[in-house]
Amino acid sequence: MANAASILFEALSPLNLLLAVAGVLGGTIIGALPGLSATMAIAVLVPFTFVMDPASGLIVLGAIYTGAIYGGAFAAILVNTPGTPSAIATTFDGYPMAKRGDGDLAVTLATIASVFGGLVGAFLLITLSPWLATLALAFQSTEYFWLALLGLTLIATLSQGNLVKGLIGGLFGIFLSMIGVAVIGGDMRFTAGLPSMLGGIDIVAALIGLYCVPVLIGMVAAPGQHLDPGEARGFRLFEAIGLSLKNWFNLLRSSLIGTLVGILPGAGGSIASLIAYSEARRASSRSDHFGQGEPGGILATESANNATVGGGFIPTLVLGIPGTPPDAVIMGALMVQGIRVGPSLFQSGDDTVYVFMTGLVIATLLMLPVGLVVGRYAYRFIVNVPKAILVPLIAYMTVIGSFAIHANPHEVMVMVVLGIVGWAAGLAGFGASPIVLGLVLGQIAEQGFMRAWMIGGARGDFLGQLLVNRPISWGIVALILLTMMLPLLRMRRVGRRVPQPVNAQVVGRSVDRAGLAGSVVFLVLAVVILLQARGLSVMAAAFPYAVGTGLALLSLIQILRSLRGHGGVNSESVSADGTGRGLVLAATMLGWALIFPHLGLFVTSVLACIILMLTAQFGRLTAPRLAAYLASILVMVGLFYITLDRVLNLPLPAALLF
């Protein structure tokens, strides 16, 4: 039996507290920078923990993990770019709040929700780990397939626009996940003969491009500040606490959802935050305000994705099955320290794991002061920095963040190309979130589908294996049908509330030309998928056939809807205003990605940032201001270059210059 007093005393030692603060601060900053993931930070620091006391080393790793998941909210709220995939749903209400001048309140709400969700997840980790781990074992490949589809239908219905367009975007994302070597079968699929595509499309690079490039194009489209500065109101802590107390049940429910989803290996915070957001919107009396800057949306998503940290450690510690890549790295650190994970862990008499879990609770509590301070200065920085500096800074971060994933220039090109594709899709009303979620959930869906297909095929009962014989699947399918029906029921209810005048004339709808063009492109893509699937083995072609058929049917439906004027307005759609400057920005980033592996990262980054600075500058540029901007660019590029080269020791391309 563990000694609670000695465990608490060791976790609260000055050294461990200092390490926890440093870990939370470092993790928060890393999570806020797209491309610099928690996995990367933990993997880099693991060797340094080997010389520490086992408990101290594990505390700092857990603190970095916790801070990184929370830090993703900063970029989601202030730049509309999720720092991590689990912060995707935070963009729905966080960015609209920041646009109207409530970014400081949004950051404080995210901090409170993250602390609450993290504490719930950590508490359940400490108290109910063995029991919850058995629940994770009840989920098999079939349930993961339906769970992935649930995530796609949630994002399609929550995108506040055309349901069919949302589903098309989700299937396009699944297609992106199929590029490369097939998960089952080993065939090379949809690589266009490019060896660089054999590894597929990295999720983080796609996330950065699909979210960040359209935002950058929007920022150079018109003069004015990126966000409404509002009035300086500090942390707005008491206002945020009041809103959190009003939404206490939403917080608790979302935290429990996050913990339960977190125990499922591979599910992660992206699915948890979407389910929590969907449930919060369904149960709220202000459901129509979700997606327009509703505080309850931020509270739901941030409490859920931070609760997955504690939930993810449950199968890691109890079953030895890591739920996420950071869990796998930390499990490796545990094993190096001589701690064997598994069912006997909590009966081994070793207090180190309890000190680690207590340190996780302490790190979660430390997120409140650290997050409030970092959030306040991050918000004021984003608000006050001129666009002529902000645009090059964000663009440079996207480039080095994409490169840092695998130290591969190919990821930068993927990021830029998908960003331009996402911008074009946004013009047609196809939001980025369904595409990203399709990419995130695509492999989970394919693995579940193919395993059910193989097992059911061997038994001669594919449909039975996929649905009929799995009671858990019944519940998930019911949720899918419910989420598909809710938008229709909501539209019907709203239509009843707004009676038409007696003498009202029917006004003809104009053709949704942009949506029509986009649907035709997706229909052509579906035909290409089906034709290329004919040359694959049966194992590698089954899932592409299903995706291609679904994409073709939905594209045909949307073509008919667009001809009738049913285009829908997606909340993530982008404006065509300022297209000239936007094309200059897109061309600059594309040239940047092509040239820097040959000419050098530092030189090309300085040149590209100067071009972007001039693109984002509106009005007359005086000589003193130009000198200040150029100096800022040199300092910014130099600091990040030194960080990549000297601190992270990333192998930079062997180029002509540097």
Answer with the residue of higher pLDDT: 70 or 578.
70
Is residue 606 domain-resident? no
The domain tally of the chain equals 1
Is residue 166 pLDDT above 50, yes or no?
Answer: yes
Is residue 656 domain-resident? no
What's residue 13's pLDDT? 84
What's residue 498's pLDDT? 45
What's residue 69's pLDDT? 86
What's residue 505's pLDDT? 45
Is residue 323 pLDDT above 90, yes or no?
Answer: no
| pLDDT, average across residues 77-84 | 82
Please, which residues bridge with residue 188 across strands?
181
* 367 closest CA partner among 301, 303, 294, 316: 303
State phi, psi for 340 to the nearest 5 degrees.
-95, 115
* 339 closest CA partner among 372, 314, 307, 317: 317
Contact 398, 51 (CB under 8 A): no
**What does the DSSP assignment read for 391-408?**
HHHHHHHHHHHHHHHHT-
* 115 closest CA partner among 329, 380, 372: 372
How does residue 552 score in pLDDT terms, banded at 50, 70 and 90? very high
Q: How many CB atoms lie within 10 A of CB 347?
A: 9
CA angle 540, 542, 543 (to 5 degrees): 90
C-alpha to C-alpha distance for 361 and 527, rounded to whole angstroms: 52
Is residue 635 domain-resident? no
Answer with the residue of higher pLDDT: 310 or 520.
520
Residue % of the chain over a pLDDT of 70: 83
How does residue 125 score in pLDDT terms, banded at 50, 70 and 90? confident
Residue 120 DSSP SS3: helix
Q: pLDDT digit string (tens) for 443-471? A: 878 887 777 777 766 666 555 555 555 67
Q: Is 53 left (phi over 0), alpha (psi -120 to 50) or beta?
A: beta
Residue 562 DSSP SS3: helix
Residue 73 to residues 67, 78, 385, 548, 596: CA-CA distances in angstroms? 10, 8, 20, 34, 30
Instruction: Count Cβ neighbours within 10 Å for each residue of 18-54 and write b for 16 or more, e otherwise.
Output: ebbbbbbbbbbbbbbbbbbbbbbbbbebbeebeebbb
Residue 228 DSSP SS3: coil
User: In which domain, by residue range, is 335 found?
Assistant: 9-230+243-487+510-563
Amino acid identity for residue 651 in this structure: P
**What does the DSSP assignment read for 347-391?**
GS---HHHHHHHHHHHHHHHHHHHHHHHHHHHHHHHHHS-HHHHH
Contact 28, 374 (CB under 8 A): yes
Is residue 496 domain-resident? no
Contact 435, 210 (CB under 8 A): yes
* 301 closest CA partner among 30, 110, 74, 125: 110
Is residue 122 domain-resident? yes
What's residue 33's pLDDT? 77
C-alpha to C-alpha distance for 606 and 609, rounded to whole angstroms: 5
Entry pTM: 0.82
| pLDDT, average across residues 58-82 | 86
C-alpha to C-alpha distance for 520 and 512, rounded to whole angstroms: 12
Is residue 635 pLDDT above 50, yes or no?
Answer: yes
What's residue 494's pLDDT? 54
Q: Which helix (H) or strand (E) holds 556?
A: helix 538-563
What's residue 300's pLDDT? 93
What's residue 553's pLDDT? 95
C-alpha to C-alpha distance for 347 and 556, rounded to whole angstroms: 59
State phi, psi for 181 to the nearest 5 degrees.
-80, 130
Which DSSP category does 491 fall into?
H
Answer with the residue of higher pLDDT: 651 or 588.
588
Mean pLDDT of the chain: 81
Is residue 266 pLDDT above 70, yes or no?
Answer: no
How does residue 600 score in pLDDT terms, banded at 50, 70 and 90? confident
Is residue 642 domain-resident? no
| pLDDT, average across residues 68-96 | 85
Burial class (CB in 10 A: 0-12, 13-18, 19+), 658: exposed
Helices 295-318 & 248-262 angle (0-180, nearest 10): 30
Residue 320 DSSP SS3: coil
Is residue 297 pLDDT above 80, yes or no?
Answer: yes
What's residue 301's pLDDT? 93
Amino acid identity for residue 419 in this structure: G
Most confident listed range (117-121, 162-166, 492-496) = 117-121
Burial class (CB in 10 A: 0-12, 13-18, 19+), 86: buried
Residue 585 DSSP SS3: helix
How does residue 484 score in pLDDT terms, banded at 50, 70 and 90? confident
What's residue 419's pLDDT? 92
How does residue 46 score in pLDDT terms, banded at 50, 70 and 90? confident
Please, which residues bridge with residue 189 across strands?
180
How many residues in the chain?
658
| pLDDT, average across residues 114-140 | 80
Burial class (CB in 10 A: 0-12, 13-18, 19+), 101: middle
Q: pLDDT digit string (tens) for 219-245? A: 888 777 777 666 656 678 889 999 999
Is residue 651 domain-resident? no
Contact 301, 89 (CB under 8 A): yes
What's residue 521's pLDDT? 94
State phi, psi for 188 to the nearest 5 degrees.
-85, 125
Give the range among 30-34, 185-189, 401-405, 527-531 with minimum mean pLDDT.
30-34
Through-space distance between the first and last CA atoms of the chain, rounded to whole angstroms:
58
Residues sharing a CB contact under 8 Å with residue 1, sequence separation 6 or more, in sequence order: none
What's residue 500's pLDDT? 47
Contact 60, 23 (CB under 8 A): yes
Is residue 192 domain-resident? yes
Contact 445, 183 (CB under 8 A): no
Is residue 136 pLDDT above 80, yes or no?
Answer: no
Residue 430 DSSP SS3: coil
Q: Is 193 left (phi over 0), alpha (psi -120 to 50) or beta?
A: left
Is residue 192 pLDDT above 90, yes or no?
Answer: no
Residues sharing a CB contact under 8 Å with residue 112, sequence separation 6 or more, in sequence order: 240, 241, 244, 299, 368
Q: Number of H helices and number of E strands within the chain?
A: 25, 2
Amino acid identity for residue 129 in this structure: S
What's residue 487's pLDDT? 61
Q: Which two tokens stand for residue 521?
A: 């492109």
Q: pLDDT digit string (tens) for 496-528? A: 554 444 444 444 567 878 888 999 999 999 999
Which DSSP category does 196 fall into?
G
